[in-house]
Structure 1
Amino acid sequence: MQSPTRSPLAIAIALLCASPALHAEQTTTEATSKEDAVLELQKTDVNAQGVRGQATTENTQSYTTGVVNSSTKLPMSIRETPQSVSVITRQRMDDQGLSDLNDVIKNTTGLSVQKYGPERQRYVARGFTVDNIMYDGLPMSISTYSQDVITAADTAMFDRVEIVRGATGLMQGAGNPAAAINMVRKKPTVAPQVSVSASAGSWDTYRTELDASGALNDNGTLRGRFVTAYEERGTYLEEGGGDRGLLYGITEADLNDSTTLTVGASYQNDHKDSDWGGLPTATNGNDLNLSRSTYLGNDWAYWDTSTTHLFGELEHRFANDWKLHLAADKMWGRINMLGSYLGYSGTTLNQYSGKYTYTNDYDSYDGYLSGPVKLFGRDHEVVVGASNRQETFDGHGGWLNDATGPNINPNTWDSGSVAKPGFDMYRWTLKFQSEQKGVYATTRLNIADPLKVILGARLDWYDYDTGVASSSYKITRNVTRYAGVIYDLNETYSLYASYTDIFKPQTNLDPSYSVLKPMTGKNYEVGIKGEYFDGALNVSAAVFQINQENRAKQLDKATYCPSPAYATNFNCYEAAGEVESKGIDLELTGALSENWQFSAGYTFVEAKYKKDTNKANEGKLFDTDQPRHLFKVSTTYQLPGNLDKWRVGGSLNSQNGIYNAGGSGTSAWRIEQDAYTLVDLMLGYKVSENVDTRINFNNVFDKKYYSGIGSTTNVIYGEPRNAMFSVKWTL
């Protein structure tokens, strides 16, 4: 008897080759018939127009893209890129209601968001913290302090977010081998298009967006686009809320048939009535079973940030298919905050307060030449470029002179019981300037029809200046090497391998107030990629290994670094030796059918100390509050026939249990978060050709979980069940 036709969902599962048991410490993989899956895929008719060879995702209704260049600046498809790549497209951001970068990262394969305060977070991947983000390919570092300033960007101005997992030193220079997050801005269009959307949701949350684009002259050589968004966000907490405003404008001018000039600016302002710290556990780390709405701060707390960007690009296309590309981005970042955090004195819970102001200015410049060369009868590609980025940070603040603040009873605390205090704003100061200059070159060699080799190198000069000789340093002519090999098995599948050097200067201080030496290391990745429907569906599987040496390790919290200006509570660090991260990375993203967009990804990562000054740490997990298993699925399906105005969708995010521990003896503590799964649902209805509606239900099973487990006095609960209804009118 002939076997029944396999469903698209079965195909997806077969291609992904993973259904992880996230509650276990080991995964099992069942063998599936690749031949059956391929035959079934070939039967399906998918319209891939607008995907193949095109980077822009807007108006493609796709969950994937045709071109990415965040890894090497060579315009390559996902299959041609010898690293793990994910793209969160405009359509996916709209379907899931991903309104800022935090939302995007939560739904990206292999990445997670770790909260260590109500408005403080870090992004982690492959065992390490992401310390570089890019705007249109121009990198900006995220340091210990600047991550508080660079607020989560509003996604209304982005066409897509490209994420390359692993080390990306060829394009970024200094950085952790975690991931590169490249936010690609929307570009002006020749054809006029206008959209207006409005949303309303739980806890009195409201959002509006306006997006207008089109030609500014008769022949379309001058184009412009304007985007604005405003959001009033309520909160599930007893106290809080806030608002966010975004203005984005961009113009594009064809100076002649071969030269295009782009100039734009954006401004994002976030005001949040939010506190500095989170909630407590018991002194041993046990959960106190507090309500998720509990607020143990004060009604005068706030957390205000703003970021302003001025950017431009100039591209000239030569007659021989070579191209000159010049780009610049200048950012001004600001934060003003006043808030409180908790601390234990024995078993008594006390509140401490502080007020801080940071300014964080960033300049990033890049220029490169790219084009084809002919050698030994074959066509190859070459990129040669140079970059410069500069950061200036100036922070100051103060805290109360009292040794301890008011005592806190979590069950009876009144957020209006403490008067707004005053502070000596120069009890703590920190200033630094950093500059990284680099030159780079990369080439894709067409060795044979099925074999491509990518070789690249980068030379960097790094200067970090605090105004204090012992904590300032320079690095001259650091070399970063890159190599990748791609071999096409057939028209569908390719094998690949890649290698990247790791180089990461550190700002952490040892007890003598000297900066630790840079971290170095190596990044290896081997995998297989496939594409179907002319690139409308991409699948990949990879194994990786990362070795990073000379990592900073925080010393006991009772040890502090001295400051020449004032005795402050800087944490002290030492070189911790070597960390090794190993894992697997699986992803399937794109169209399963003409009406079905689908994305699924699974990552297993295990980062352990390989060498350490404390021999007892060797073989132990490097960062225990990073999940080892991550499984994420997102899908949208447009119903057929007479129901084609309806679409249904949802997402699932699952991770294994994690923990954080510290102290010793009777002061030892351990905070645990069990494995959990979050489920979101979406229902959409197209009222007319111009009007579309959508409702998103988030955390539909109202799972209670920690989104951050920083310490016994700073845990953060994830959002309870909530919903958002949206309507969008498009011209």
Structure 2
Amino acid sequence: MSEPATLKVLEVSAQRTQTPSEFTGSYTPSATTTSLKMELSHRETPQAVTVVTRKQMDDFAQNDVNEVLEGATGVTVESVETDRTYYTSRGFDITNFQYDGVGLPAVYDNVQGELDTAFFDRIEVLRGANGLMTGSGNPAATVNLIRKRPTVDTNASVAVTGGSWNKKRIVGDVTGSVAASGKVRGRVVAGYEDKESYLDRYSNEKQMFYGVLEADLTDTTLLTAGHAIQTSDTDSPLWGALPLFYTDGTATDFARSTSTASDWSYWNNTQHNSFVELQQELTGGWKAQGTIFRLENDSDSELFYQYGTPDPVTGEGLFAYPSQYELNTEQWVVDTYATGPFNLVGQTHELVAGVSWSRSETVDESRFGQGIGDPLPPLDEWEGDYPRSAFDNGVNGSDWTDKETATYVAARWRLADGLTAVTGLRVTWLDSDGESYGNTKSTSYDAVDTPYAGLIYDLNDDHSVYASYTEIFTPQTELDINRDRLDPLDGVNYELGLKSEFRDDRINTTVAVFQTEQRNVAEAAGTYAGTQDVYYRGIDGLESQGIELEIVGELTDRIQLFAGYAFVDIEDADGNEAKTFVPEHLAQLRGTWKVPGIQGLELGSQIRWQSEISQEQGVATTGPNAGTTIVTEQDAYAVVDLMASYDVARNWNATLNVNNVTDEKYIESLKKFGTSAQGFYGEPANASLTVSWIY
């Protein structure tokens, strides 16, 4: 049987030297750009980085960013409800995202809706602090979303998917030259997805469109402009989730399909993402780039929350909380930089220097419904038929603006044969004004410095050791005893590692040991004389330490593998165990095997395992355990997925994905939502079949 046509490896412009991962068919990336805006190889980056390539996403049907990050080393995806997600790494919330290396300031510490992966070539996750290139945030990780770009030759694909719970999905992708000369190129990606769920009443509909044009204005000048829009409309979403314990402290155990949502509730999210880039090659190997980037998120919802603790005998004790919610965030980022080589004391070094400016406006409004506090039937009798009420029982919300201006410079110094140092500094000016639900968001900082330092030593042609020190900061609004604003909350990351390459760079491995700290966390320290106003002091916060291991690449000509393991120990300033909802041990393993003797057949598996987690939930109020602390526990578990891919004819492929084949029942997250953690169960066994045509 003849093999299907594959996309050609193309150099799409003189300025872009890195081969997109969609053209390599490999799990191994050629370079990363997240840490320094330089194209750095695996061993040239003095921090741990995971890259999920297009091949990995396609093999295991990772159609949204949540599924990708679940497979990234050391990252946990905290789904506290169906349409709002938190991410953690090294014990801290991930709040830093980039698009093609351009940092985006965080507005909230969560993501609403599902961000589809159809637009992206690969996703890079740089772990630890990365304030040099992203500005303010947490010392957790930076997620860099690398968009697909146009090609000179015409390429096209269509993928149609059908699956469990009436899932239907289609994605088309067309790229090629617009002008006969090849100097103007375009690409369009469009998709639609409609699916129901194992959860009662829940369904989701997504529509995606991405268009991008590239033009060679001269032999050395490249102009790129693109726009993407995605809508995610959900019926009967979870707002909050299931109660995890009864009043006597015993654990609940509902059917996986159980949902607290009403039949009228919805949660619609729309994202607009626009950008313009201008790249200019300069003399002496230098280049300059300027980017204007706009991101707008709109959320419109009517939601139904159930609060309270059920009685273990009657199941009663839950109460209604209907609310209407709207959110709009508009973010503008302007980033310009230049990078290139320079000579000093007989060695050639590299420099990047730039300026960035951003403005983020956030407006949201909660309109509370009538009937808050109404008693509800037990969940095993609940059918979502609570009447829709008027949302005129009070209003609250937010309206604030963040502005950030920064300059940054970084250099790679070749100190001697095999020895490289990386140094950098970012200086940031930040102003915020407004309030959120009655609390001020107003703060201002001038010239906050964020250093970066790394040292890399090549042991030989295949192995390098490295050490790095990185920082990041988070603005604070609290005042000290002198009514001065507290200094920013500092995040610091120390890291030592060994990186290796095997089989002519087709296999990458990483061993990283880290310690991550937060300093100057605001703590209430008293009240001003003659007032009830609280003043604060800065204290040490959380500290995490651990180890991360990763191997990725082509073990043989027939086997591709990704394996990651992370251990993290998280403590508070007093040395007590903290954030017990984050697993101490987390492991991922996925791989594919081209079956010999059957041309075009590829088999694969994916396993995600985590150790036990727990969360303190308050005190039991009834039964023999009354007065004792309630602890919710989720035992260690593994989720196993299988895949089979077959080239059925020239240009045609069919891929079958079967997820959670052992039908493991587990709670998605124990992260607290309010005063106690609620939760819901992960997907039971399910399957999908994707048929693709590639030209």
- Counterpart of 2:404 in structure 1 is 436
Counterpart residue identity of residue 479, structure 1: D
Whether 2:105 is the aligned partner of 1:105: answer: no
Whether 2:372 is the aligned partner of 1:408: answer: no
For 1:460-475, list aligned pairs within 5 A: 460-466=428-434, 471-475=441-445
> Of the candidates 637, 640, 645, which is equivalent to residue 679 of structure 1?
640
1:635–1:649 Cα contact (<8 Å) kept: yes
1:396–1:425 Cα contact (<8 Å) kept: no
- Counterpart of 2:594 in structure 1 is 638
TM-aligned CA deviation for residue 448 of structure 1: 1.1
Whether 2:240 is the aligned partner of 1:277: answer: yes
- Counterpart of 1:715 in structure 2 is 679
Counterpart residue identity of residue 601, structure 1: G
- Counterpart of 2:255 in structure 1 is 291
Distance 1:693 1:553, change over 3 A: farther
User: Any idea what the Cα deviations from partners look like across 1:347-371, whole Å, max 9, x if unmatched?
Assistant: 5121211111011111112110111
Whether 2:419 is the aligned partner of 1:451: answer: yes
- Counterpart of 1:624 in structure 2 is 580
- Counterpart of 1:85 in structure 2 is 49
- Counterpart of 1:422 in structure 2 is 390
2:296–2:330 Cα contact (<8 Å) kept: yes
Counterpart residue identity of residue 257, structure 1: D
Counterpart residue identity of residue 430, structure 2: Y
Whether 2:206 is the aligned partner of 1:244: answer: yes
- Counterpart of 2:322 in structure 1 is 353
TM-aligned CA deviation for residue 173 of structure 1: 1.3
2:221–2:279 Cα contact (<8 Å) kept: yes
- TM-score w.r.t. length of structure 1: 0.86
TM-aligned CA deviation for residue 507 of structure 1: 6.2
- The SS at the match of 1:79 is helix
Q: Distance in 2 between matches of 1:469 and 1:661?
A: 27
Distance 1:470 1:120, change over 3 A: closer
- Counterpart of 1:527 in structure 2 is 497
Counterpart residue identity of residue 289, structure 1: D
1:344–1:713 Cα contact (<8 Å) kept: no
Which one is further off, 232-241 or 184-193?
Answer: 232-241
User: Any idea what the Cα deviations from partners look like across 1:311-355, whole Å, max 9, x if unmatched?
Assistant: 011000013111001112101110011111121178512121111
Whether 2:365 is the aligned partner of 1:399: answer: no
RMSD (CA atoms): 2.6
| Unaligned 5+ runs, structure 2 | 1-8, 312-316, 526-531, 621-626
Q: Distance in 2 between matches of 1:424 and 1:94?
A: 47
> Of the candidates 296, 299, 310, which is equivalent to residue 332 of structure 1?
296
> Of the candidates 449, 458, 461, which is equivalent to residue 488 of structure 1?
458
Distance 1:89 1:553, change over 3 A: farther
TM-aligned CA deviation for residue 400 of structure 1: 2.7
For 1:591-630, list aligned pairs within 5 A: 591-610=554-573, 618-630=574-586
- Counterpart of 2:196 in structure 1 is 234
Whether 2:549 is the aligned partner of 1:580: answer: no
- The SS at the match of 2:187 is strand
1:333–1:361 Cα contact (<8 Å) kept: yes
User: Any idea what the Cα deviations from partners look like across 1:163-222, whole Å, max 9, x if unmatched?
Assistant: 100001110111101000000000000010000010000000111000000001111000
TM-aligned CA deviation for residue 102 of structure 1: 0.4
User: Any idea what the Cα deviations from partners look like across 1:205-260, whole Å, max 9, x if unmatched?
Assistant: 11100000000111100000000111101100121111011000000000000000
> Of the candidates 128, 131, 144, which is equivalent to residue 182 of structure 1?
144
> Of the candidates 82, 91, 101, which is equivalent to residue 127 of structure 1?
91
> Of the candidates 332, 337, 360, which is equivalent to residue 363 of structure 1?
332
Q: Distance in 2 between matches of 1:536 and 1:394?
A: 48
- The SS at the match of 1:94 is helix
Counterpart residue identity of residue 679, structure 1: V
TM-aligned CA deviation for residue 284 of structure 1: 5.4
- Counterpart of 1:726 in structure 2 is 690
Counterpart residue identity of residue 247, structure 1: F
Give % identity: 36
User: Any idea what the Cα deviations from partners look like across 1:561-611, whole Å, max 9, x if unmatched?
Assistant: x99xxxxxxxx999663211100010000111112110001000111012x
Whether 2:21 is the aligned partner of 1:61: answer: no
TM-aligned CA deviation for residue 714 of structure 1: 2.0
User: Any idea what the Cα deviations from partners look like across 1:469-516, whole Å, max 9, x if unmatched?
Assistant: 964110110000001111000011001000012311146899xx9987
TM-aligned CA deviation for residue 664 of structure 1: 4.6
Distance 1:729 1:169, change over 3 A: same
- Counterpart of 2:348 in structure 1 is 379
1:508–1:516 Cα contact (<8 Å) kept: yes
- The SS at the match of 2:110 is helix
Counterpart residue identity of residue 391, structure 1: S
Q: Distance in 2 between matches of 1:288 and 1:536?
A: 48
Q: Distance in 2 between matches of 1:356 and 1:552?
A: 30
State the aligned residue count. 658
Q: Distance in 2 between matches of 1:330 and 1:196?
A: 29
> Of the candidates 656, 678, 692, which is equivalent to residue 695 of structure 1?
656
Counterpart residue identity of residue 427, structure 1: V
User: Any idea what the Cα deviations from partners look like across 1:386-444, whole Å, max 9, x if unmatched?
Assistant: 1112110001112135451232311211212x211111286112111001110000000
Q: Distance in 2 between matches of 1:414 and 1:722?
A: 24
Distance 1:249 1:84, change over 3 A: same
Distance 1:509 1:62, change over 3 A: farther
Which one is further off, 366-375 or 513-522?
Answer: 513-522
Counterpart residue identity of residue 232, structure 1: D
- The SS at the match of 2:504 is helix
Q: Distance in 2 between matches of 1:181 and 1:488?
A: 27
